[in-house]
Amino acid sequence: MAEEHHGGGGAAAPDIRVEAESSSEQSVASSRGVMPREDCVEGIRSALKHPTVRFLREQMEKAGCQVWPRLIQAATCSTAGGYASREGIKVCCNHMTLQDEINQVIIHELIHAYDDCVTKNMDWKNCAHHACSEIRANHLSGDCHYKRELLRGFMKIRGHEQDCVKRRALMSVKNNPYCSEAASKDAIEAVWNICYNDTRPFDRAP
């Protein structure tokens, strides 16, 4: 999920929040029940030690991106997590049931944060820009690993990963008030090849 606060323009009302819900699909694990907030906060601390989280933060720092102390915060919200320009990442503890979910939310949102920093003239109101970051975040974060897809009830094996990335990217972009469902589909198709194959910063991994 990526979101941006801004001041008007286009057809949407001023100060509207642009949101892209990327984790609204329920998994079998959701039956475990939501973890207590204090466990979620501790889970966020644990996630900071995850190799992929550490790598992404290091790459952001090398790129000159602002990685401030409260970049990642615990929150109560309507989706699993989000990123807002100049505000950082939120992990929605009222949706977390497992440490793996916290790790995945943070990795996904750090990719949005990386894109927001390194992409020239990044505009979350632009459907193609938004679609590109969602494609990258869903692909590179591991959100669409076949084991996670099986837990969500999607049983397809061959070609599952690209189908999952497109499905979850569409879920997000069509919730952007500047992007209709048709415009979201068109944007995903238009940028698919270049964005799906853009593996930055993981192409710099040792």
Q: With 0-12 CB in 10 A as exposed, 13-18 as middle and 19+ as buried, what is 91?
A: buried
User: What integer pLDDT is reported at residue 25 of this predicted model?
Assistant: 62
User: What integer pLDDT is reported at residue 40 of this predicted model?
Assistant: 97
Sheet arrangement for strand 72-75? 72-75, 88-92, 81-84
- What does the alpha-carbon distance between residue 204 and residue 195 come to, in Å, rounded to a whole number? 17
Kindly give the confidence (pLDDT) of every residue in the chain, 206 residues in length, as a single tens digit, with 9 standing for 90 and above.
Answer: 665 433 233 333 334 445 444 454 655 444 468 999 999 999 999 999 999 999 999 999 999 998 877 889 999 998 899 998 888 999 999 999 999 999 999 999 999 999 999 999 999 999 999 999 999 999 999 999 877 767 777 777 677 899 999 999 999 999 999 999 999 999 999 999 999 999 999 997 76
User: What integer pLDDT is reported at residue 1 of this predicted model?
Assistant: 63
User: What integer pLDDT is reported at residue 32 of this predicted model?
Assistant: 64
Active site residues: 109
- What does the alpha-carbon distance between residue 172 and residue 8 come to, in Å, rounded to a whole number? 20
- 3-state SS record for 143-196: CCCHHHHHHHCCCCCCCHHHHHHHHHHHHHHCCCCCCCHHHHHHHHHHHHHHHH
User: What integer pLDDT is reported at residue 20 of this predicted model?
Assistant: 41
- What does the alpha-carbon distance between residue 80 and residue 76 come to, in Å, rounded to a whole number? 9
- What does the alpha-carbon distance between residue 186 and residue 92 come to, in Å, rounded to a whole number? 30
Give the pairing of strands 4-5 and 17-18: antiparallel
- DSSP, res 29: G
